[in-house]
Amino acid sequence: MNFVQPNDLVRVLPEIVLAGFAILVMVLDPFVSSGRKSTLGWLALVGVAAAAYSTSWTSLSPGTAFNGNVSADEFSMYFTLLFLFVAGLTLLGSVHYLERDGINHAEYYSLVLMATLGMCFMAASTELIMIFLGLEISSISTYILAGFKRSNAQSNEASLKYFLLGSFATAFFLYGIAFVYGISGSTNLTDLNVHLARSTGWASMTSVALLLMFVGLGFKVSAVPFQIWTPDVYQGAPAPVTAFLSVGPKAAAFAVVLRVFLVGFAGVSSLSFWLIWISALLTMSLGNLAALWQSNVKRFLAYSSIAHAGYVLVGIAAALAPGALNITRAEATSSVLFYLAAYALMNVGVFILIAHLAGPGERYTNVDDFVGFGFERPGAAACLAVFMFSLAGIPTMAGFFAKFYVFRAAIHSNLIGLTIIALLNSVVSVYYYLRLVVVMYMREGKSEASHVDMPASLGIAMAASLFGIFYLGLLPGSFLDLANLAANRLP
Amino acid sequence: MNQPFAHFLTVLTFLPLAGAVSIAFIRPDAASRIRWVALLYSVAALVLAMLAFFSFDSSRAGFQFTEVVPWINSPAISYSVGMDGLSLLLVLLSAFLTPLSILASWKSIHSRPKEFYLFLMALEAGMIGVFVSLDLFLFFLFWEVMLIPMYFLIGVWGHERRVYAAVKFILYTMVGSALMLVGILYLFKVTGTFDLQIILSELPGLWPSLPGSAQTWLFLAFFLAFAIKVPMFPFHTWLPDAHVEAPTAGSVILAGVLLKMGTYGMLRFCLPLFPQAARDFAPIISVLAIIGILYGALVAMVQPDMKKLVAYSSVAHMGFVVLGIFAFNINGIEGAIYQMCSHGVSTGALFLLVGMLYDRRHTRLITEFGGLATSIPLFSTFFLIVTLSSLGLPVLNGFVGEFLIIVGAFHVKAAYGALAAVGVVLAAVYLLWMYQRVFFGEVTNSKNKDLPDIDAREKFILVVLVLVILWMGVYPNPLLRRIDTTTAQVIQRVSAGTAQMAGGTAVKIGGPAQ
């Protein structure tokens, strides 16, 4: 046991910066008049930028910190930057939104930073208790964020539902950790792996531990059958929060899934493989089929995000496939990482755009509110159309390569049946993504959606996400190299 | 002969896209400028395509004007383009039909001309891209991307049921391409590359090491995508909807070029890559093709709507093409390629003519017309020539392809040839019957009395088309000789190992090979 080393602090520098700014925003809150709370939003954004910048120091001294509880490696760095990007976009999409809807409070910005901090720890920790702490920090922050429209019943419902079911799920996760400790006498994932490789007994206990942890994580990534909460929460929460929720905690939970299943439980991969395989199949099919019937934009995007979780699970199944070579496993892992980045670009972008277009109080979130919108506000409509096409996986956009890499990995792991189902699913998804395009461009009428010009902050966020979408869609090579680097960090 | 200038095919492919980008910068209300810019770019593309036609060396096997640039390093995907005789003809067809479609839309597209021409130009770039790609991934990319402009063209500027038609079109095609993507990824898994030429040379050696059914499944994965696009019976149901609802320009491009992508894919991928499976499935596919020919013709006969009639005639005509391809002999395949071009021209022309009639009367119902020959004689004459070309009258373009295909089919099985010949007769029935009801007799509907005959713009379009129809019918040699080596290569791949497949002496139309 060592006490804190200077290097330890550098290795969690981004998290420290985030915590610092989160506290700073809260402390400064009383000194900022209520009409100018947006300043704190910009301050939070500076915090995100500073945290991103601080990763350049962290990357100079990679390694584990705090007695091997946290690892600053390419994998955690990849996720840290991803979360910071998501947080940055969310903040850009929030500032104007909160002002418009009269809920511009400092706590919001602080909570976004805290949630991001928790997610960073989830991805960086190599020890289950730390992962749990990260999970709790991010969960509790997002429970509050989901209910941030205090006067709105739907938002309250979202918060309560998310909170109750979420606590239940984290309890499962914790229970799983207890089993792991019982089996191996340690909560460290590497120790667990070593122990499982050495001992032959305890097989049923291991399975129970694995199942319990999967329940907890499955809830966070909204994998079927733990997805029930998703549509209600995504629809009820303020749209920028949904943007954050639909990507951040999900990606963090996927990072944990990768670490737990590929590192901790590497020895028992056939059980985890089938678990993920079935879950992938159900998640994408149910998500897509349910999305077909939705008439509310936020709700169908919620189901679409369930479906996307299914595609990511296909990638994870490819990584866990029995008999997969190391190189195939790394390829599959990197495809998952790439997918999450592409998904972040599309989903955050589309939700903060919807937040703006839905108008004050988010009154207009029905698909039919966009009738004829295409030619009324060509710029905003074109953005929305690009998001839809990218989510549908049309080439030249990020969503296509994301799917392409995942399916390639799945084929390499001989999951041909699952790939065919996934591809047919993505054809089904084309139908409902295009419905919004149909409504915007091909129906005559006057739209209800907001005709107010995009605020500059949202414009920047749109430009960033569209640039990202086309960059990953046309020249994905260099970014995939990054994902490969990160993936190779997982043994 | 080498390519006329550096990056020739890249320029040809992306010139229309440059046109689309230029249009994006024009004010939306400057409709006339938008039209001229679109026309200018598409004519420039046509000039380049003709340049390709004349500098193409028909004695050389393999691809010409090739260009390879590494694009994505992992997995290795390159921007790899090239042309053989087959691509050459189809690129020429695309480049020929686009300016005509623009001219045809000159006065009929009033709403949102900017977006219309922008999508049309983007579509042209996509079509040319599909035909010149030599990398499976690049091919797939163009194949998918091209759906978007077509989807908008049908969905925004189409007729009453346009949304239904547009969505049906895109979903049908995507089901096929999803399966094709699985096939492409599997090929990548076993060969480690997307490069068509490398796959072509390595794949035959790999079959023994793969599961026995691999070839069958791969063939089906690719074939289904193409069969939907052609469309072959029973996958044809999207076609009448899409054709009828699309604006004239959309129908022309759809029938003229997009359907050919299916048969192009069969010739480019299905036959050379999976010869054994192609041979195994040939009887079933030939029967389906013949059903398509007869069924398309019979359904066309009873259509009350002219556009729908032409749409179903496409099902029949494309059935001929598939029949020719799966005859696996020189006559069949050359006939199929020739028929692809001539169907593009004739059916494109038919859709243009129906569109002109629609512009005048805003209906396409056959019963609304009658006796037009007396009120608009010039138009009627052109319509007659095009109708005759579509039903395969000798001296016009349709005859050459159909004749070769029937000869090719006879070599495989006499029944195939005989049934296909019945299809030719039926084509004469439904087309002439339609012509008779629309143009002959007394003018019964007073609205048809004072219709304006064709104006200078329409005359220009039709004269160009009729000249091409005549040229293709009288002197097919320049076109046929350019596909000789491609055909020979395809046949050689398919018949590798089975000598009798090459059977059948080639019927040379228009003299010996040069």
Please report the DSSP string for B200-230 in residue order: HHHHHHHGGGS-TTHHHHHHHHHHHHHHHHT
Tell me which residue in A408, A426, A438 faces B178 most closely, judged by beta carbons.
A426
pLDDT at A268 over 80: no
When pLDDT is averaged across residues A458-462 and rounded to a whole number, the result is 92
CA B110 to chain centre: 27
Q: Collapsing DSSP states into helix, strand and coil, what is residue B72?
A: strand
What pLDDT score does B509 carry? 55
Residues of chain A with Cβ-Cβ distance to B186 below 8 Å are 411, 416
Q: What is the reported pLDDT for A175?
A: 93
**pLDDT-derived band of residue A491, with 50, 70 and 90 as boundaries?**
low
Question: In chain A, which residues have their Cβ closer than 8 Å to the Cβ of B71?
Answer: 477
Contact between residue B73 and residue A477 where contact means Cβ atoms under 8 Å apart: yes
Chain A positions in Cβ-Cβ contact with residue B70 (cut-off 8 Å):
none
Contact A430 B174 (CB under 8 A): yes
What's the Cα-to-Cα distance from B100 to each of B14, B103, B345, B463, B465, rounded to whole Å?
A: 19, 5, 11, 11, 9
Structure tokens at A331: 């390829």
Which regions of chain B are under pLDDT 50? 1, 497, 499-504, 511-514
Chain B residues close to A434, C-beta within 8 Å? 151, 167, 170
Q: Tell me how close the Cα of B313 comes to any Cα of chain A, in angstroms.
A: 28
- Give per-residue pLDDT as tens, A34-57: 888 889 999 999 999 999 999 988
Measured CA to CA, the distance from residue B286 to residue B191 in angstroms comes to 30
Give the containing element (helix H, strand E) for A143.
helix A128-146
Q: What is the pLDDT of residue B506?
A: 53
**Nearest residue of chain A to residue B217 (CA atoms):** A416
Q: Please give the residue of chain A at the shortest CA–CA distance from B174.
A: A427
Chain A CB contacts of B156 under 8 Å are 441-442
C-alpha to C-alpha distance for B404 and B508, rounded to whole angstroms: 9
Percent helix, percent strand, percent coil in chain B, to nearest 5: 75, 5, 20
Give the model's pLDDT for residue B499: 40
Report the alpha-carbon distance of residue A113 to residue A20 in Å, rounded.
9
Count of CB atoms situated within 10 Å of the CB of A456: 11
Q: Do A79 and A140 meet the contact criterion of CB atoms below 8 Å apart?
A: no
Q: Residue B501: its pLDDT value, please?
A: 40
* Disruptive mutation site among A328, A386, A427 for chain B (greatest number of B CBs within 10 Å): A427
Q: What percent of chain A has pLDDT over 70?
A: 98
Query: Can you list the pairs that B123-127 forms with residues at least 24 positions away whose Cβ atoms lie under 8 Å?
Result: B123/B98, B123/B149, B123/B150, B123/B153, B123/B253, B124/B16, B124/B42, B124/B45, B124/B94, B124/B95, B124/B98, B125/B13, B125/B14, B125/B15, B125/B16, B125/B17, B125/B20, B127/B94, B127/B253, B127/B257, B127/B258, B127/B261
CA–CA min distance A163, chain B (Å): 39
Contacts of B72 in chain A (CB under 8 A): 475-477, 480
Exposure b/e, B263-291, CB count within 10 A at least 16 = b: bbbbbbbbbbbbbbbbbebbeebbbbbbe
Residues 6+ apart with CB under 8 A from A198: none
Query: Does the beta-carbon distance from B189 to A412 stay under 8 Å?
Result: yes
Please enumerate in sequence order all residues whose Cβ is within 8 A of that of A276, keeping only pairs 6 or more positions apart, or say none: A261, A313, A316, A317, A320
pLDDT at res. B513: 40
Range A1-21 average pLDDT: 84
Paired residues of A65 in beta bridges: A70
Residue listed under structure tokens 């089901």: B175
- According to DSSP, the residues that pair with A188 across neighbouring strands are A127
What is the rounded distance in angstroms from the CA atom of residue A227 to the CA atom of residue B431?
Answer: 57
Which 117-156 residues of chain B touch chain A by CB within 8 A?
Answer: 140-141, 144-145, 147-148, 151-152, 155-156
Question: Does A1 have pLDDT greater than 60?
Answer: no
Interface test with B, best of A288, A420, A438 (most B CBs within 10 A): A438
Buried b (16+ CB within 10 A) or exposed e, B367-404: ebbbbbbebbeebbebbebbbbbbbbeeebbbbbbbbb
CB atoms within 10 A of CB A11: 26
Neighbour count for residue B513 (Cβ, 10 Å): 12
* CA dist., res. B428 & res. B431, Å (int): 5
Give me the total of CB pairs closer than 8 Å, taking one residue from chain A and one from chain B. Answer: 77
Query: Which residues in chain A have Cβ-Cβ distances shorter than 8 Å to B112?
Result: 375
Sort out which chain B residues have CB atoms less than 8 A from A375's CB and list them: 112
Distance CA A408, CA A412 (A): 6
pLDDT of residue A196: 82
Q: Are B154 and B189 in contact (CB under 8 A)?
A: no
From chain B, the residues in CB contact with A394 under 8 A are 144-145, 147-148
Predicted local distance difference test score (pLDDT) of residue B500 = 40
Binned at pLDDT 50, 70 and 90, residue A384 comes out as: very high
Angle subtended at Cα B24 by Cα B11 and Cα A476, rounded to the nearest 5 degrees: 60
The whole-number pLDDT of residue A364 equals: 87
Query: Mind telling me how many Å the CA of A475 is from chain B's nearest CA?
Result: 7
User: Residue B159 burial (CB < 10 Å; 0-12/13-18/19+)?
Assistant: middle
| A contact set with B (CB within 8 A) | 375, 389, 394-396, 400, 404, 407-408, 411-412, 416, 419-420, 423-424, 426-427, 430-431, 434, 438, 441-443, 475-477, 480-481, 484
- pLDDT band of A151, cuts 50, 70, 90: confident
On whether any CB of chain A is under 8 Å from the CB of B163, the answer is: yes
Taking the whole predicted model, whether its pTM rises above 0.95 is answered as no
Please give, rounded to a whole number of angstroms, the shortest distance from the CA of B246 to a CA of chain A. Answer: 13
Say yes or no: B67 contacts chain A, CB-CB below 8 A: no
Question: What integer is the mean pLDDT of A352-357?
Answer: 92
Coil/strand/helix, residue A188: strand
A146 close to A44: Cβ distance less than 8 angstroms? no
Rounded Cα distance between B348 and B317, Å, is 13
